[in-house]
């Protein structure tokens, strides 16, 4: 327990969309929120725009697309003297239209670095802080998505995620390699692959650390939050049609506000305590839809792959 007797949660990417509304919902639940964001001024304006009280949040800089920045964030967080009671790995980029891969300062492909490797390093470093917390119900939550799972309609649309045998990671993941399976660069697949890695990471954290630490590790798909800026790099026409399609055809649409409330429940409510679970909501639009623990995709429930991903990711981020 830290700030004014309130428990503290770190939320990555709290400057917009799901992360921002989760920050709001967590503040409403009486938590102190550390908004881990790459644009401090934007985060501050965003917090005020949704009415988060000034004494309920702190903004600390992180660029998940840079491993040095992740390390610096952890140092800055520790220097703040707060204890850590929950961590939400939420930030992500989706750049469906780029033709060539962008690179992190380390030379790794940027979507996989931001969405998976940066969070993988953050989780490993902050595990120590979560272990030290005296809060009774510590949780580490990583955002998943339906597109990780070809067993669901939203996951059937090509290109489907495929981590292969992680050849790209095994070969160092630097130029000319840009995909985890070592194959040709495909930006949409890079996003979906990274989200499979998020679920595998959650499951491997659970396997390695739940029994020994008591920390609950979970993931979730809150529904299709079709109006967040995640789709800002898509064609303008797509951005117009996608929410309507999700509202009236698939029924998968949820508002940003509702997605934030769902994520906050998974972080803090007693009924979402089950470690290793991936939470989902039945035909997702309605607020009163019941949540359930959903089976993850065949790749995401492959224990051997989870272990191999862990080992290779640890090497790439320099903690092996």
Ligand X SMILES: NC(=O)c1ccc[n+]([C@@H]2O[C@H](COP(=O)([O-])OP(=O)(O)OC[C@H]3O[C@@H](n4cnc5c(N)ncnc54)[C@H](OP(=O)(O)O)[C@@H]3O)[C@@H](O)[C@H]2O)c1
218 binds ligand X (CB under 6 A): no
74 binds ligand X (CB under 6 A): no
219 binds ligand X (CB under 6 A): no
Residue nearer to ligand X on the CB measure, 93 or 309: 93
64 binds ligand X (CB under 6 A): yes
92 binds ligand X (CB under 6 A): yes
Centre a 10 Å sphere on the Cβ of residue 274 and count the other Cβ atoms it contains: 12
E strand or H helix that includes residue 252: none
Among the listed residues 30, 153, 157, the one whose alpha carbon sits nearest the alpha carbon of residue 86: 30
Decide: helix, strand or coil at residue 279.
Answer: strand
Among the listed residues 117, 141, 115, the one whose alpha carbon sits nearest the alpha carbon of residue 9: 141
Task: Give the residue carrying structure tokens 């998505």.
Answer: 145
240 binds ligand X (CB under 6 A): no
200 binds ligand X (CB under 6 A): no
224 binds ligand X (CB under 6 A): yes
114 binds ligand X (CB under 6 A): yes
Query: Rounded to an integer, what distance in angstroms lies between the CA atom of residue 109 and that of residue 93?
Result: 12
Strand 216-220 and strand 278-281: the pairing is: parallel
Centre a 10 Å sphere on the Cβ of residue 242 and count the other Cβ atoms it contains: 17
101 binds ligand X (CB under 6 A): no
Residues in region 145-184 near ligand X by CB under 6 A: 145
Decide: helix, strand or coil at residue 171.
Answer: coil
291 binds ligand X (CB under 6 A): no
**246 near 252, Cβ under 8 Å?**
yes
275 binds ligand X (CB under 6 A): no
* Closest-approach residue to ligand X (CB): 17
112 binds ligand X (CB under 6 A): no
Using CB under 6 A as the binding criterion, the count of chain residues that bind ligand X stands at 30
**Alpha helices of 246-302 — where are they, by DSSP H?**
256-268
User: Of these, 30, 53, 214, 229, which contacts ligand X (CB under 6 A)?
Assistant: 229
Site string for ligand X, 13-32 (x = CB under 6 A): x-xxxxx-------------
User: Of these, 86, 196, 230, 268, which contacts ligand X (CB under 6 A)?
Assistant: 230
Residue nearer to ligand X on the CB measure, 133 or 280: 280
Query: Rounded to an integer, what distance in angstroms lies between the CA atom of residue 4 and that of residue 13?
Result: 24
Among the listed residues 267, 40, 256, 240, the one whose alpha carbon sits nearest the alpha carbon of residue 138: 267
Q: List interacting residues with ligand X (CB under 6 A).
A: 12-13, 15-19, 37-39, 42, 62-65, 90-93, 114, 143, 145, 195, 221, 224-226, 228-230
């Amino acid at each position: 327990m830290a700030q004014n007797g309130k428990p503290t949660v770190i939320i990555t990417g709290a400057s917009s969309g799901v992360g921002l509304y989760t920050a709001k919902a967590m503040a409403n639940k009486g938590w102190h929120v550390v908004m881990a964001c790459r644009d401090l001024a934007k985060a501050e304006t965003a917090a005020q725009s949704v009415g988060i009280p000034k004494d309920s949040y702190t903004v600390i800089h992180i660029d998940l697309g840079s491993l040095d920045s992740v390390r610096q964030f952890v140092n800055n967080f520790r220097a703040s003297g707060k204890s850590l009671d929950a961590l939400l790995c939420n930030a992500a980029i989706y750049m469906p239209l780029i033709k060539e891969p962008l690179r992190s300062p380390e030379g790794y492909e940027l979507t996989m670095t931001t969405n998976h490797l940066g969070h993988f390093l953050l989780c490993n470093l902050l595990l120590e802080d979560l272990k030290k917390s005296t809060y009774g119900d510590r949780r580490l939550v990583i955002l998943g998505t339906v597109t990780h799972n070809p067993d669901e309609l939203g996951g059937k649309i090509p290109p489907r995620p495929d981590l292969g045998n992680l050849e790209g990671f095994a070969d160092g993941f630097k130029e000319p390699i840009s995909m985890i399976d070592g194959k040709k660069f495909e930006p949409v697949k890079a996003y979906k692959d990274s989200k499979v890695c998020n679920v595998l990471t959650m499951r491997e954290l659970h396997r390695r650390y739940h029994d020994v630490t008591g920390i609950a590790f979970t993931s979730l798909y809150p529904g299709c939050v079709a109006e967040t800026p995640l789709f800002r790099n898509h064609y303008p026409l797509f951005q117009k049609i996608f929410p309507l399609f999700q509202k009236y055809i698939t029924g998968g649409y949820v508002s940003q506000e509702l997605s934030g409330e769902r994520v906050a429940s998974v972080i803090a409510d007693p009924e979402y305590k089950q470690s290793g679970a991936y939470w989902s909501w039945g035909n997702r639009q309605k607020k009163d839809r019941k949540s359930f623990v959903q089976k993850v995709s065949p790749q995401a429930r492959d224990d051997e792959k989870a272990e191999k991903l862990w080992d290779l990711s640890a090497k790439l981020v320099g903690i092996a």
